Amino acid sequence: MVSKTGVYVCHCGENIAGSVDVAKVVNYSTTLPGVSVSREYLFMCSDPGQELIRKDIEAGIVDRVVVAACTPRTHEPIFRKALEDAGLNQYLFEMANIRDQDSWAHWGDKEGATQKAQRLIASAVAKANLLQPLQQRYVEVEKSTLVVGAGVSGMFAALDLAGMGYKVWLLDRNPSVGGNMAKLDKTFPTNDCSACILTPVMVQVANHPNIELLTYSEVEAVNGSIGNFNVTVRKKQTYIDWDKCTGCGDCVTACLGKTDNEFNEGLDSRKALYIAFPQAVPKRAVLDQDSCINCAGSHIGKEHKINAKSGEPMLAPCEKVCKTGACDRTLAHDSGGESFDINVGTIIVASGYQAMPKEPFKEYSPDSPNVITCMQLERILSATGPTDGEFHRPSDGQKPKTVAFISCVGSRDKNHHVYCSKVCCMYMLKEARLIKEKYPETEVYIFFIDVRTPGKDFEEYYNYCRELGIKIVRGRVGAVDQLPGDGLRVRAYDVDMDTPVTLEADLVALATAMEPSAGLADLGRKLGITCGSEGFLKEVHTKLYPVETSVKGIYIAGCAQGPKDIPESVSQSRAASSAAAVPLTAGRVPVEPFSSSVDQEKCSGCGICVPLCPYSAISREEIDGKVRAGIEIALCAGCGVCAAACPSLAITLQGFTADQIFAQIDALTSVAGGGPID
Amino acid sequence: MSDWKPNIIVFACNWCTYQGADLAGSLRYKYPSSINIVRVPCSGSIEAEYIVEALHKGADGVLVGGCHPGDCHYKEGNHKALRRFNLLHRLLVDMGVEPERVRLEWISGSEGKRFAQVMNEFDATIRKLGPSPNGRNGNA
Ligand code: FES
């Protein structure tokens, strides 16, 4: 059967037409074997553009479609739908990527880009001529979602989905939900107390009948695909029986082991046995084995020593005070914790960010205890912090008289992160304002490169801060020196005055960058989603698909995707929850029919393909008395590894058959660079 | 001969290198128009015959692009691609193909800049080698 392939070349406004001679390409296309018609349009993806295709199909002129336009990654579904609407099998479609991979990349080389467009179209046509109709498959969707990260973004995503009636697993690697927002004192631009607005949400997620909390847990492995993800979760070892623990805190008081308190950003210490913070949800104790000093010689999993005098077992202080029996050190706790599997239909990643520590910034004297990050200052200002909200500097507990803020520390800096962390200008202004309002006598300086305050009520906030008497200096800070005593000297360049300036300060706060949280790349790898060059998770399309990832059924929200403030994180998390709800509500999702199939005639039954399949979808089975390879369609993901390895050429990957690829190679090599085009 | 422009075929996996190529374009990184991409689901789906066929039909250079180790969308297709590639590469060299004509690269979806760099570099390498003996402008 000779195909009737229609070729539709898009101008994409000037995006393609500015670098590719479209008329020439259209003319050329008509000369290709199998092509019945070739047309051009300003925007092929617009309705009139699609109408051109539909009309030709309905008129019987066209039974295969090639669109030469942007990238199939975003636009293939749109055109496939047009085919389907006109009554043609949607898989009789191929795209030639003449924008992203041609006109844009070869801008200014019109001849080269035009010739390449011709080659790419010839290749697409060659493949299209050999396409076979394929039947879309559907899979049933497990009506539940896993939300990774229980900060403000993750909690709102979980609440939305739970409210729609779906089961939600809300996972966090910390012992409590709340994320970074739980550490904040106040939140701009309204200066609400962070805890006052966050803790009710924390309680809500804990009490919601559709939400199951998986705190102090990690994602170990992810298998499956949209509709049916199988996730192995590892609940880390707490060494405390959480079913019995009431969060009374007696063991914490009794504990003698100490380490840095991560909730207070290392400004004070916490016990080895600890509750993450006073408002923790769930409020349960965790033993951090690394800092446990095994009081009374009591080692985990070992019988107690016997007191020689009394003949009584010697209990550690924590065990002695625990009234519920939640703390029993003799039990054989598995240090790896407990792993189990859950099945979910969709996944939302809201794993947040981390604030950069001060140590990498040697020029700002990080060794001085009075040089702190703004996140540390946040803890100092907070009523739940190390100073109970009293404004004391770390070195001597004195109230600072002069405070200097330094902006863009680690952001907009090619030695660290080139991006703008977006929230620093506002959080510096907020902290400065909190200090100035409470202690008006304090001199507060902010060294900015630029003040960036776009956002609802943000500029007003900035103006108000200036009126309060906060001094804004525009210019980069070159260094912070330690002075004898505990003082500091800030050396900067004032751009407005065009002069170097120095300032003696009692406390220096560095507005350090937001960066991807530790382990994000690893998590991304487990999920099969990629990180962008800055290490944050990558969305499919910045503008149109901001919460979708390259893996269908996995969505992203909050700072895991890039720096954001709270309102933005919440908006995005609610967008992600609605996107994640779509497949759950539909109940079934289409899966691409690109699976492999075995030609039983050609198969020799050698079994080479069996161990190669990453999904264990192939087995050797007996068919009519002969051993042959059999592929379990539901398990096949369509990678094509088996087809490539089969020595008998018996396996075909639908949609990417060897014949089709040979035809593409043929087309690409016969339409030469400077060859027989004109 | 001075007008000679190589013909290079790049087999790019859909999940990484193909995306990297898209990103290179959208960030307007330039590379020569001699680069022609064939989209495949995974580097592990690239049959040895594809590479041989491309050379046989006259491509002056062939590049296989996949996800970085550990990042393959299909778990480990790229490991298989690597093993197969090394084997084939040895064979091709034994058969007289210059080793630089055939190359394997891991380029992720976020490495738009690197995609362009690798393509520029590969094009330069092929130009230095000159037309493939099997190529359109060669003698075979
Ligand atoms: S999907 Fe890219 S190498 Fe397998």
Spatial contact of A424 and A448, defined as CB atoms under 8 Å apart: no
Q: Is the pLDDT of residue A426 over 50?
A: yes
How far CA B34 is from CA of A14, A16, A619, in Å, comes to 22, 18, 42
**DSSP-assigned beta bridge partners for residue B40:** B13
The closest alpha carbon to A160, from A563, A570, A564, belongs to A570
Within 6 A (CB) of ligand 1 lie B 13, 15-16, 42-44, 66-67, 72-74, 77-78
Which residues, at least 6 apart from A586, have a Cβ–Cβ distance to it below 8 Å?
A141
A-chain residues within 8 Å CB-CB of B57? 665-666, 669-670
Q: Which CATH number fits domain A5-134: 3.40.50, 1.20.120, 1.10.357, 1.10.4160?
A: 3.40.50
Listed by start position, the domains of chain B span 8-129
3-state secondary structure of A8: strand
Q: Quote the radius of gyration of chain B (alpha carbons, Å).
A: 14
The Cα A43–Cα A46 span in angstroms is 6
User: Which among A600, A658, A608, A666 is positioned nearest to A628, based on CA atoms?
Assistant: A600
Which residue type occupies B2?
Answer: S
pLDDT of residue A540: 85
- pLDDT for res A580: 98
CB contact under 8 A, B50 and A665: yes
pTM: 0.84
Cβ pair A670:B70 closer than 8 A: no
Q: Could you give the CA distance from residue B73 to residue A524 in angstroms, rounded to a whole number?
A: 11
Q: Does the domain spanning A144-236+343-351+531-587 belong to CATH 3.20.20.70?
A: no
- From chain B, pick out residues whose CB is under 8 angstroms from the CB of A672: 7, 136
Q: Give the distance from residue A592's alpha carbon to the nearest chain B alpha carbon, in angstroms.
A: 12
Q: Please give the backbone phi and psi of residue A449, each rounded to the nearest 5 degrees, phi first.
A: -85, -55
- A97–B37 C-beta distance less than 8 A: yes
pLDDT score for B2: 56
Q: What is the pLDDT of residue A46?
A: 96
Count of beta carbons in the 10 Å neighbourhood of residue B52: 18
Least confident of A351-365, A411-425, A520-534: A520-534
- Tokens 């960010």 found at: A353
Q: Answer yes or no: same fold for A5-134 and A144-236+343-351+531-587.
A: no
Phi-psi region of B85 (alpha: psi -120 to 50; beta: other; left: phi over 0): alpha
Mean pLDDT score across all residues of chain A: 94
Contacts of A669 in chain B (CB under 8 A): 7, 9, 54, 57-59, 136
Fold for the domain defined by A354-515: FAD/NAD(P)-binding domain (3.50.50)
Question: How many percent of chain A have pLDDT more than 70?
Answer: 99
Q: For residue A623, give the nearest of A605, A597, A607 by alpha carbon.
A: A605
Q: At A175, is the secondary structure helix, strand, or coil?
A: coil
- Grade residue A591 by pLDDT with cuts at 50, 70 and 90: confident
Beta strands A402-409 and A443-448, pairing class: parallel
Q: Does B49 touch chain A (CB under 8 A)?
A: yes
pLDDT at B140: 34
Structure tokens at A188: 């701009």
What is the 8-class DSSP label of residue A102?
I
Instruction: Judge: A105–B29 Cβ closer than 8 Å, yes or no.
Output: yes
The domain segmentation of chain A, as residue ranges, is: 5-134, 144-236+343-351+531-587, 237-335, 354-515, 596-654
What single letter denotes the amino acid at residue A470? I
- The predicted pLDDT at position A563 comes to 97
* Record: fold of A596-654: Alpha-Beta Plaits (3.30.70)
Report how far residue A167's alpha carbon sits from residue A387's, in angstroms, rounded to the nearest whole number.
41
What is the CATH class of B8-129? alpha beta
């969060």: which residue's tokens?
A: A247
- Residue-wise DSSP of A32-45: STTEEEEEEES-TT
Whether the per-residue pLDDT at A441 is higher than 90: the answer is yes
Beta-strand pair B8-13/B35-40: parallel
10 Å CB burial of residue A237 (0-12, 13-18, 19+) is: middle
Please tell me the predicted confidence (pLDDT) of residue A201: 97
- Grade residue A677 by pLDDT with cuts at 50, 70 and 90: very low
Nearest to B41 among A530, A639, A670 (CB): A639
In chain A, the residue whose alpha carbon lies closest to the alpha carbon of B113 is A533
Tokens 């690798």 locate to B118
A/B interface, count of CB pairs below 8 Å: 162
Whether omega for the bond prior to residue A563 falls within 30 degrees of 0, making it cis, is no
How far from chain centre, in Å, is Cα A423?
A: 18
Cα A616 to Cα A498: distance, rounded to the nearest angstrom: 68
Place of tokens 């996800």: B67
Ligand 1 atom index nearest CA of B17: 2
Mean pLDDT confidence for A586-598: 92
Q: Could A656 and B41 be called an inter-chain contact, meaning their C-beta atoms sit closer than 8 Å?
A: yes
- ipTM computed for the complex: 0.96
Residue segments in chain B with a per-residue pLDDT below the cut of 50: 1, 137-140
Distance from CA of A280 to the nearest CA of B (A): 36
Give the residue from chain B lying closest to A19, CA to CA.
B33
Could you give the angle at the alpha carbon of A106 between the alpha carbons of A104 and A108, nearest 5°?
100
A674 → closest Cβ in B5, B25, B31: B5
Contact A637, B11 (CB under 8 A): no
Q: Which residues contact B128 (CB under 8 A, 6 or more apart)?
A: none
Query: Tell me, which fold does domain A237-335 have in CATH?
Result: Alpha-Beta Plaits (3.30.70)
- What per-residue confidence (pLDDT) applies to A624? 82
pLDDT at residue A1, rounded to an integer: 64
Give which of A526, A511, A522, A577 is closest to A548, Cα–Cα: A577
Which atom of ligand 1 approaches the CA of B72 most closely?
4
Interface residue B75 vs chain A (CB under 8 A)? yes
- What number is the average pLDDT over the span A597-619? 92
In this predicted structure, the answer to whether residue A266 has a pLDDT above a threshold of 70 is yes
SS (H, E, C) B25-90: HHCCCCCCCCEEEEEECCHHHCCHHHHHHHHHHCCCEEEEEECCCCCCCCCCHHHHHHHHHHHHHH
**With contact defined as beta carbons under 8 Å apart, do B61 and B23 qualify?**
no
> In which band, very low, low, confident or very high, does the pLDDT at A632 lie, cut at 50, 70 and 90?
confident
Q: Which of A113, A533, A662 sits opposite B110 (nearest CB)?
A: A533
pLDDT value, residue A675:
39
Substitution target in B27, B29, B33 with the highest count of A β-carbons within 10 Å is B33
Q: What atom of ligand 1 comes closest to residue B41's alpha carbon?
A: 1
Q: Which of B18, B17, B92 is nearest to B49 (CA)?
A: B92
Please state, in angstroms and as integers, the Cα–Cα distance from residue B56 to each residue in A107, A197, B6, following that order: 31, 68, 14
Task: Choose among A538, A644, A664: nearest Cβ to B46.
Answer: A644
Q: What is the largest CA-CA distance in chain B?
A: 45
Q: Nearest by CB to A105, which of B30, B50, B75?
A: B30
Q: Is A58 a residue whose pLDDT tops 80?
A: yes
Alpha-carbon gap, residue A481 to A490, rounded angstroms: 7
Please work out, in degrees rounded to the nearest 5, the angle formed at the alpha carbon of residue A46 by the alpha carbons of A42 and A52: 75
What's the pLDDT score for residue A498? 94
Closest chain A residue to B21, measured at CA: A101
Contacts of A113 in chain B (CB under 8 A): 33
Instruction: Give the H or E element holding residue B104.
Output: strand B102-106
Quick one: pLDDT at residue A673? 43
Nearest in space to B29 (alpha carbons), one of B86, B136, B112: B112
What does the longest C-alpha to C-alpha distance in chain A come to? 104
Chain B residues 11-40 with CB within 8 Å of chain A: 14-16, 18-19, 21-22, 24-26, 28-34, 36-40
Q: A341-355 b/e with 16+ CB inside 10 Å = b?
A: ebebbbbbbbbbbbb
Q: How far apart are CA A99 and CA A142, in angstroms?
A: 38
Residue A531 has pLDDT above 90, yes or no: no
Question: How far lies A391's CA from each of A96, A329, A388, A421, A442, in Å?
Answer: 63, 40, 9, 26, 11
Q: How far away, in angstroms, is B127 Cα from ligand 1 center?
A: 28
